[in-house]
Amino acid sequence: MISEHPALPPPVSRPWLACAGAACATAFVVSSWAPALFLVAIPVLWLSLRGHAVVAMIVTATGLAVWGASAPVDPVPPGPISGQGMMATDVLSGRYGPYALIALEDGAILADLPPDAVAARGDLVRLDGLATGEPGTVGGRQHRGTVRVRQFEVIGGPTSPIMSLGNAIRERVATRLTPLVGGRALLAGFLVGNTDGIAAIDEEAMRRSGLSHFTAVSGSNVALFLAVVFIALGPIGVGPRRRAVIGLLVLPVFAAATRFEPSVLRASVMAGIGLAGRLVGVSLEAWQILSAAVIGLVLLEPELVTNPGFQLSVAAAAGVMVGARWPVDRRLRTLTVAIGAQVGVAPLLIAHFGLMPLLSPLVNLAAAPMVALSTVLGVVGMVGPGQFATAGAWLAGLVLWLARFASGWPQIGWLGLLTSASLVLLFFVLPRLRGGVAVTAGLLAAVLILGQSEQPPSPGVVVLDVGQGDAILVSGGGGHYALVDGGPDPVRLISALRRYRVNRLELVILTHVHADHAAGLTGLIGRVSVGEVWADPEPHRAAAADEFFRLLAVDVPVERPSVGQQWALGELTLTVEGPLRRYASPNDQSIVVMVESAARSMLLSGDIEEIAQRELVGLRADVLKVPHHGARTSDLDWLVGVGSDLAVIPVGPNDFGHPSDMVIETLEDSGGVVHRTDVTGDVVVPMG
């Protein structure tokens, strides 16, 4: 059966696929040119020998072009700098204010812009500032260093008409959809990949429900865009050749409007190759088009190969091709396509994010028609009556609702992926076993869903596994809960609280303003009721904490607790031990809390470092929440001095070297047991 309806690429595509693979490998080793050229040489030689001379020439030419384009970055000398250049990105909003990449005559710089700076990609600008930082990369693009810009002025629009048109489309979408919130913000994402107005928690919900590929303009919109253009042009666009020419002319405009979003780039280049083929009378097979697009793109812009958006887009396209040809009943076709796309991206999702949503094919089946209709209404609303855009935004709001709803559904890792992939394969390959396979899958899913609810100890403390950051649930028993910090991720925090069935927090303590403690707290808004907040937003400030305070309802009191202040939480008492004074470092400014029951005590120490630790003399506790994710910023004598027999380190994947081996060894040598959340998951500390 399967051999009659090949789901795998036909033999003719194999050299193309091999070439695409070689191109990706080349891009991966792009920092070292000798092996890269060697890798290009192999397929070129092989293709030439097999009579694919044209492909060989393309590979060689693009390889050489990339080689010629690569030049080592020389850092911008520190000191005053002024000049003219072109905006290489839009103005982006960062943790410390707006910034952008600006291409000056002798290379790109990362510009920290004044708070009121307005400019679009492609604009010509003049700037005056102070060069400070080291070279680095932003969104995969290299720059020569950071410049703190003092004077900033737009002196002209883009020199390229394509970019101007793209900017005009983008501006039209932004103005027509203002205010960019909720469904309106998501529709701007569907249309041109403008994600400025999408709240972090909604973006996260889209990811966790398996819908993130829609958030910033899906590759499938390229086809939609072309269709709209052909319809709009009416009789001018009749005939395959004219259409091909028009398509080739307008594709770059769409790519510019969507800021060369990797998925659009992939789909546009594929559409372009298909149209060009039609123009010269060559019909290309889908696998050849995908391979050629990958080869061209990664050789022209090798950084793309490490871009998750590009990887996911290519994998999804390949998955759709396999799914569309899978030998099954035609009624199951939409399902096999959805499953194909998800199976294609699954390993990448797990590699990048650690988890993937188990039921994303189902969520996608439900969302895809809504997204498509919303996008079409949005397009009509951009060129015609605004009511269409409003209707489109309403539908996008529905997609958002679905995403939020499905974001709490089970997520699976590598093991879950292997299990579900085997079950799906069995379902399609062995029709006679379908009933049994379906029952097994249902049972496994039920176990996954039901197994998610847990009972927090009462009284007790749960140091939640929320990645690199702190989020600590304190349960006083009898439904009395407090939360100390929210971790870096709203959705992880909310799913953890849901797991323990926590709907109300009497007290929320934000130890200090850093994002790995504050960013997750925004997830509480509108989902978990909060009685009171203890925080100290001054003298240090950060965007993540400001966002939380901004969103917090006006009737929730926010208090800066003083040392010695207490909170009774069921059978537990929380006592403030620090900060003792104003510190220069936000970490030292952490609110330090002792949690005590009649039987045990636990010290929650925020991120305090040596200076604050040395001033907190004589604190002792049975359990220690190790400060600052176990970083080597602690006074080792102080750590030992707390005298705990159990030390808990909340930590996740990070580049800071947390936790330090020295800290762990010191704690273990002093006779304590050390638990870390990245190894054991949630660490439950009974306090009874």
Cβ proximity to Zn ion, 351 vs 679, nearer residue: 679
516 binds Zn ion (CB under 5 A): yes
> Can you list the alpha helix ranges (DSSP code H) found in 85-220?
161-177, 182-192, 200-208, 212-215
Sole window of 83-91, 166-174, 272-280, 600-608 interacting with Zn ion (rule: CB under 5 A): 600-608
Q: Within 13 Å, how many C-alpha atoms sit on residue 470's CB side? A: 32
Sole window of 212-220, 471-479, 500-508, 602-610 interacting with Zn ion (rule: CB under 5 A): 602-610
Question: Quick one: how far is CA 229 from the chain centroid?
Answer: 32
Q: State how far the Cα of 346 lies from the Cα of 357, in Å rounded to an integer.
A: 9
DSSP, residue by residue, 104-116: ETTEEEEEE--TT
Closest separation in Å from C-beta 519 to Zn ion: 11
User: What order of strands is seen across the sheet that includes strand 460-463?
Assistant: 558-559, 529-534, 504-509, 480-484, 472-477, 460-463, 683-686
Closest separation in Å from C-beta 390 to Zn ion: 42
**Residue 62 to residues 204, 266, 484: CA-CA distances in angstroms?**
37, 17, 54
Cβ proximity to Zn ion, 47 vs 542, nearer residue: 542
Pairing type for strands 646-649 and 673-676 reads parallel
Cβ proximity to Zn ion, 516 vs 596, nearer residue: 516
Closest separation in Å from C-beta 165 to Zn ion: 45
Closest separation in Å from C-beta 587 to Zn ion: 7
Contact predicate 484/604, CB 8 Å: yes
Residues 6+ apart with CB under 8 A from 565: 575, 576
Sole window of 70-78, 160-168, 426-434, 508-516 interacting with Zn ion (rule: CB under 5 A): 508-516
Cβ proximity to Zn ion, 516 vs 622, nearer residue: 516
Q: Using CB atoms within 10 Å of the CB of residue 175, give its burial: 0 to 12 exposed, 13 to 18 middle, 19+ buried.
A: exposed
Cβ proximity to Zn ion, 437 vs 612, nearer residue: 612
607 binds Zn ion (CB under 5 A): yes
Cβ proximity to Zn ion, 596 vs 607, nearer residue: 607
Build a one-symbol-per-residue string for 451-480: x at contacts with Zn ion by CB under 5 A, - elsewhere. Answer: ------------------------------
Closest separation in Å from C-beta 468 to Zn ion: 8
Closest separation in Å from C-beta 566 to Zn ion: 25
Closest separation in Å from C-beta 490 to Zn ion: 16
Cβ proximity to Zn ion, 485 vs 571, nearer residue: 485
Cα–Cα nearest to 502, from 533, 536, 548, 464: 464
Q: State how far the Cα of 493 lies from the Cα of 466, in Å rounded to an integer.
A: 6
Sole window of 118-126, 272-280, 299-307, 605-613 interacting with Zn ion (rule: CB under 5 A): 605-613
Closest separation in Å from C-beta 687 to Zn ion: 23
Closest separation in Å from C-beta 324 to Zn ion: 47
Cα–Cα nearest to 313, from 356, 264, 279, 347: 264
Residues 6+ apart with CB under 8 A from 672: 624, 644, 645, 646, 647
Cβ proximity to Zn ion, 197 vs 586, nearer residue: 586
**Matching residue, tokens 């088009």:** 289
Cβ proximity to Zn ion, 577 vs 607, nearer residue: 607
Cβ proximity to Zn ion, 226 vs 651, nearer residue: 651
Report 300-359 residues binding Zn ion (CB under 5 A): none
**Matching residue, tokens 């002196």:** 155
Q: State how far the Cα of 342 lies from the Cα of 317, in Å rounded to an integer.
A: 10
Sole window of 149-157, 432-440, 518-526, 606-614 interacting with Zn ion (rule: CB under 5 A): 606-614
90 binds Zn ion (CB under 5 A): no
Sole window of 266-274, 374-382, 512-520, 589-597 interacting with Zn ion (rule: CB under 5 A): 512-520
First vs last Cα of the chain: how many Å apart? 64
What is the helix (H) or strand (E) element at residue 574, kind and residue range? Answer: strand 572-578
Closest separation in Å from C-beta 511 to Zn ion: 8
Where are the strands (E) in 68-184, listed by range? 79-87, 92-94, 97-104, 107-112, 124-131, 136-138, 141-143, 146-156
> Can you list the alpha helix ranges (DSSP code H) found in 70-159?
none
Cβ proximity to Zn ion, 357 vs 469, nearer residue: 469
Sole window of 53-61, 316-324, 338-346, 514-522 interacting with Zn ion (rule: CB under 5 A): 514-522
Closest separation in Å from C-beta 522 to Zn ion: 17
Sole window of 335-343, 509-517, 545-553, 617-625 interacting with Zn ion (rule: CB under 5 A): 509-517
Q: Rule CB under 5 A: which residues touch Zn ion? A: 516, 607
